[in-house]
Amino acid sequence: MNAPRSRRERPAKPALTRAGIVATAVGLMKAEGLDRVTMRRLATELDTGAASLYVYVRNTAELHAAVLDELLGTVNLRPGKGEWQDRLVEVLTSYTKVLFDHPGLAQSALVARPSGPHYLNLVEAVLALLSEGGIPPGQAAWGIDLLLQTATATAAEHQAGDSPADWDLVEAAVRNASPKTHPHIAALGSDLLSGSGPQRLAWGFRVLINGTRSTPREPSE
């Protein structure tokens, strides 16, 4: 039987860094889901103690925010040619798609507070396009919250796990609404259910963009 190797003979572990911790967390999320990205699970993956991670990340919430920021680096911030509003919708749609592509991330994004470079790049790109469209700075500063919240909430709703059967029940209820008790629903009928997801998302962004442009903002206290 071979004698166990001395700890001195084992290769030295790479030094912990925040970037390395976040990169490992992203890999775990892609492989096992965001709910598995805990400090304890991450420590096991990095072959260290959980206490060592707290030197670089305060808690799981901050870790998830860092994971979100890392993935925001894949958002397309340089859309193709076109009117400023078309390009802004393209940026916001790309952000929504990043959340769509990583189940669980959108739910976390509703409460996460990313503050890293990729989040700042996203905010800067959106503000630049709002400025290009002639939207006053104060209105842009408040409007960006609505735009990003709509994108995040849409992705979170998509990932909530509604079954096709649930939507079938909703569709049947709308189509069978009585003109006597629900005249407006009956009148609109299939139009309430019309349009693809991407079409309705883009339309919603344009509503918010136009509303931001046309609605004066009260002075801040």
Query: What's the pLDDT at 207?
Result: 97
- Domain annotation covers residue 68: no
Residues 153 and 81 in one domain: yes
> Which residue is listed with tokens 């919708």?
89
Residues 148 and 181 in one domain: yes
CA dihedral defined by 37, 40, 44, 45, rounded to 10 degrees? 20
**136-179 per-position pLDDT tens digit:** 999 999 999 999 999 999 988 877 655 677 778 889 999 999 99
**182-197 per-position pLDDT tens digit:** 999 999 988 999 999 8
- Rounded mean pLDDT for each run of 10 residues along the chain, 221 residues in total: 53 79 91 87 91 90 89 93 95 95 80 86 97 96 96 83 75 92 92 92 97 90 69
Residues 97 and 153 in one domain: yes
- Domain annotation covers residue 7: no
- Domain annotation covers residue 109: yes
Q: Which residues contact 219 (CB under 8 A, 6 or more apart)?
A: none
Residues 93 and 53 in one domain: no
User: What residue numbers bound the domain in which 137 lies?
Assistant: 77-160+175-214
- Domain annotation covers residue 168: no
Q: How far apart are CA 92 and CA 114, in angstroms?
A: 17
Residues 92 and 154 in one domain: yes
Query: What's the pLDDT at 129?
Result: 98
Residues 105 and 188 in one domain: yes
The answer to whether 66 and 28 are in contact (CB under 8 A) is no
Q: How far apart are CA 192 and CA 88, in angstroms?
A: 26
- Domain annotation covers residue 169: no
**What's the CATH code of the domain at 21?**
1.10.10.60
Residues 102 and 201 in one domain: yes
**What's the CATH code of the domain at 99?**
1.10.357.10
Total tally of structural domains belonging to the chain: 2
Residues 117 and 183 in one domain: yes
pTM of structure: 0.84
Rounded to a whole number, what is the distance in angstroms from the first to the last CA of the chain? 76
Type of residue found at 130 = L
- Domain annotation covers residue 63: no
Residues 155 and 196 in one domain: yes
Query: What's the pLDDT at 11?
Result: 58
